[in-house]
């Protein structure tokens, strides 16, 4: 069985999800259950809140496991990765690269799957610091902008690194956040 890596998703003109999985292009259908199982396993590991939400949304289909899981996978990846671009949506490491999907119902959609974050989340303070860090700003400059000391900014970065179990380094944190779709 293939791994859930090297994947590009695109919503076709017919509204169905097209998948290019490691060079094999197919229109994703309920019958593609091997792919669905891979995708569900990946989703449960990386986006448990989204899975829980979508299970509730599609609970009427729960009696038909294939349709139930296909609906979850289709909804999630259409909303998170349904636009075509030149970067794999799931890269060779199995990490997602979220893209902005031009959705005609975004303003009144109740799902907000497009905005759901992975199990890796930044705190409110971290979400102010990390983008500025990603722009190449120093701790001192970030502190001035946010009205905090450089030491407070450094502590915020170190707490995030510790929670994510990565090296305590701003550049490593930025790379991690980019890889996990947090930036």
User: How far out from the chain centre does Cα 94 lie?
Assistant: 11
pLDDT at 108: 76
Question: pLDDT for 3-34, tens place per residue?
Answer: 999 999 999 888 899 999 999 999 999 999 99
User: How far out from the chain centre does Cα 142 lie?
Assistant: 26
The beta-carbon contacts of 12-17 under 8 Å, at least 24 apart in sequence, are 17/74, 17/77, 17/78, 17/82
How confident is the prediction for the chain on average, in pLDDT? 90
The helices-and-strands tally (H runs, E runs) of the chain is: 7, 3
The DSSP symbol for 168 reads S
Q: Which of the two residues, 108 and 155, has the higher pLDDT score?
A: 155
The DSSP symbol for 23 reads T
């Amino acid at each position: 069985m293939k791994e859930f890596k090297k994947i590009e998703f695109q919503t076709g003109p017919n509204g169905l999800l097209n998948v290019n999985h490691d060079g094999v292009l197919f229109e994703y259908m309920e019958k593609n259950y091997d792919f669905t199982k891979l995708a569900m396993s990946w989703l449960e590991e990386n986006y448990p809140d989204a899975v829980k939400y979508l299970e509730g949304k599609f609970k009427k289909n729960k009696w038909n496991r294939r349709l139930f899981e296909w609906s979850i996978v289709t909804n999630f990846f259409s909303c998170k990765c349904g636009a075509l671009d030149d970067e794999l949506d799931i890269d060779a490491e199995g990490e997602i690269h979220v893209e902005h999907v031009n959705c005609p119902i975004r303003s009144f959609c109740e799902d907000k799957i497009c905005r759901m974050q992975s199990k890796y989340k930044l705190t409110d303070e971290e979400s102010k610091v990390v983008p500025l860090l990603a722009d190449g700003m120093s701790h001192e400059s970030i502190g001035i902008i946010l009205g905090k000391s450089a030491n407070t900014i450094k502590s915020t970065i170190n707490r995030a690194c510790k929670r994510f179990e990565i090296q305590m380094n701003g550049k490593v944190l930025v790379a991690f956040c980019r890889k996990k779709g947090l930036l």
